[in-house]
Amino acid sequence: MYYKLDSYTSYMEKKEDNKQDIVIDVREVSKVYHLYEKPSDRLREALHLCRGPKHKDHSALKELSFSIRRGETVGLIGTNGSGKSTILKIITGVITPTSGEVKVDGRISALLELGAGFNNEYTGIENIYLNGTMSGFSKKEIDEKLDDILAFADIGDYVYQPVKTYSSGMFVRLAFALAINIDPEILIVDEALSVGDVFFQAKCYRKFEEFKNQGKTILFVTHDMSSVAKYCDRVILLEKGVKLGDGGTREMLDLYKQVLVGQYAVKEDAAETGAEAFSFPEVAGESDQTLEYGSGKACITEVFITDDKGLHTNALIKGSSFSITMRVEAKEDLPSPIFAFTFKDVKGTEITGTNTMFEKAFLTGMKAGEKKEIVFSQKMDLQGGEYLLSFGLTGYEGETFTVYHRLYDALHVSVISDKNTVGYYDMNSRIEVRDV
C-alpha cells in the first residue's frame, strides 16, 4: 500500500496506525511433523533405544507470513493438505509452530472442526457452559447469552440429550451458535458450515454480514468459492504449506482455478524454501466417471474449457466469457456430422446445450482421417454451483441418425458466483426505482 504524504513524519504516523490495526500477525511460521511407520517407533526414539531417527519429517507449513487487519473478512483457500487447518490451529493456540511467531490482538472464537471442545457424554446445555467457561465467561454471563444460543441453534429438546446422540448437522448448529454468541472480536471458521442444511447456512451467512457491519474480523476456510467471492474482502491461497498469493478475491480465485486443474504448482525447491514459485504441467480435466459409446466411425479425441484469460480450467466466474473446445477425428467419411455439448446438474437434469446444427455452423462433411477443432464461445450465465458437461459427435447418413461418439459427464464444471438468482439462469436484469 502506498501513500502520498507531505512529510516523512506523516508517513511514519500512518505506518504506525496500520501496525496498530493488525489483529492477526503471522511471521515466518513453519510447522514440521514427525511421521512414524508404527507407534512403537515413536516410543523407541523417545527413549533413545534406536541408533538413528525413526521418523520422517513432513513440512505442513514453510515460512508462512501474512497479517489481517481489524474488520476484514479473509478467506483461506487451497487444496487438501495445503496447510489451512494447521495455520488456524496455530493461530488459535491449539498447536505450537516449529518456528516463527503469531500475534493475536482480540478475543477469538473458533469453530475449527466438528464437535471440537465438546464432551460427548455431556448434554448440549452442559457443553454450552463448559465451552463458555473455557472461553473466560462467568456462569452469569453465559446465563444471559443462553437464550440467544439456543434460538440460533434451533435443535429443540435435543439440547438436553448427550451430544454423542447428535447428527453432524445438530453438532455444527450448536457449535456455531455458541461460537458467534460469546461476542468474539475475531471469528475463525474451518469448513464447519458445509454440513449444515441450506437454511442454517443462510442464517450463518446473515450473521457474517452482521459481524462485518459491526467491524469484527472473520477468517474462514471453505471450498465454497461462491461464498469466498461474496463475503471475502481478501483471500490467501496456500499450496503445500507455501503461500501462493495474498490479494483481491477475483485475482486469487483465478489463481486457485489454475491450481485445481494442475496449471499452477509449487516447485519442489520452492516448497523446501518457502519461495513462491510455480510451474505449468499438462492438464487432463476429464472425469473418471465418463460414460462413452458410439459406432466408432469418428471419435472425440480431446475436450477442454478455456476461460476469458485463455487458461484451461474447470472453474468459471459467473458472468465471464468462456469457450468449450472439442477435437475430433473421422475414421471414415462422414456426410453430415453434428457436434454438440450439454450441461447437466449433479442430479442429472439437462439444463442447456447446443450443437452445430442448431447454430447452423459447419454443415459440410468430413473425409476419413480428417481432424477438426470445434470451439463454442459464450458467456457463463448459469447460477453458481456444480455441473457436468457432456459431448456428442453424431450425424445423419441418409435418413438415419447415427451416434459416432458420445461422452457423458466428461467434465466437471464449477461456477463461482457472488450473486445467485432464482432457477438455473440469471436474467441479468437491470433495475430502476422511480417516483410516480
pLDDT tens per residue, range 67-80: 999 999 999 999 88
Segment 192-214 shows an average pLDDT of: 75
Output the pLDDT for position 102: 95
Which CATH number characterizes residue 232's domain? 3.40.50.300
User: Could you tell me the CATH number of the domain that includes residue 357?
Assistant: 2.70.50.60
Q: Report how far residue 128's alpha carbon sits from residue 178's, in angstroms, rounded to the nearest whole number.
A: 7
| Helix or strand (DSSP H, E) at 337 | strand 337-345
In this structure, the answer to whether residues 212 and 316 fall within a common structural domain is: no
Determine the average pLDDT of the residues in 354-369: 93
Tens-place pLDDT, residues 126-179: 999 988 887 778 889 899 999 999 998 889 999 999 989 988 788 888 888 888
pLDDT (0 to 100) of residue 423: 86
Q: For position 72, what pLDDT does the model report?
A: 93
345: cell is 446438474
Indicate whether 425 belongs to any domain: no
pLDDT higher than 60, residue 201: yes
Whether residue 329 sits in one domain with residue 221: no
206-224: pLDDT as tens digits: 888 888 888 899 998 888 7
Q: What is the pLDDT of residue 193?
A: 64
pLDDT in tens, 316-351: 999 999 999 999 999 999 999 999 999 998 777 889
Instruction: For residue 411, give its domain range.
Output: 291-416
Exposed e or buried b per residue across 306-329, where buried means at least 16 C-beta atoms within 10 angstroms of its C-beta: bbeeebbbbbbbbbbebebbbebb
Please measure the distance between the N-terminal and C-terminal CA atoms of the chain and give it in whole angstroms.
Answer: 46
Q: Is residue 124 part of a domain?
A: yes
b/e burial code for range 6-28 (CB count within 10 A of at least 16 → b)? eeeeeeeeeeeeeeeeebbbbee
What phi-psi label fits residue 309: left (phi over 0), alpha (psi between -120 and 50 degrees) or beta? alpha
Work out the average pLDDT over 296-319: 93
Strand partners, 217: 186
225 domain-assigned: yes
Minimum mean pLDDT among 185-194, 342-351, 373-382: which range? 185-194
**Residue 423 DSSP SS3:** coil
Q: What is the pLDDT of residue 8?
A: 36
Same domain, 373 and 326: yes
- Residue 190 pLDDT: 82
**Listed residues 273, 308, 329: the one ending a domain:** 273
Average pLDDT of every residue of the chain: 83
167 contact partners, CB below 8 Å, separation of at least 6: none
Question: In this predicted model, what pLDDT tens digit does every residue of 260-281 receive, in sequence order?
Answer: 766 565 555 444 444 444 433 3
Element containing residue 373 per DSSP (H, E): strand 371-379
Q: What is the pLDDT of residue 207?
A: 82
What is the structure's pLDDT at 184? 84
Cell numbers standing for residue 435: 417516483
Q: What number of other Cβ atoms are within 10 A of residue 37's Cβ?
A: 10
What's the number of domains the chain is made of?
Answer: 2
> Is residue 306 within 8 Å of 251, Cβ to Cβ?
no
Instruction: Please say if the pLDDT value at position 203 is more than 70.
Output: yes
Asked if residue 306 belongs to a domain, the reply is yes
Q: Are residues 36 and 141 in the same domain?
A: yes
Structural domain contains residue 390: yes
CB environment 403-429: b (16+ within 10 A), e (fewer): ebbbbbbbbbbbbbbbeeeeeeebeee
Q: Verify that 82 and 208 share a domain, yes or no.
A: yes
What pLDDT is attached to residue 73? Answer: 92
Q: Is the domain of 379 the same as that of 266?
A: no
Residues 299, 238, single domain; the answer is: no
Q: Do 168 and 27 share a structural domain?
A: yes
Same-domain status, 199 and 313? no
The residue with greater pLDDT, 17 or 157, is: 157
Tell me whether residue 107 is in a domain.
Answer: yes
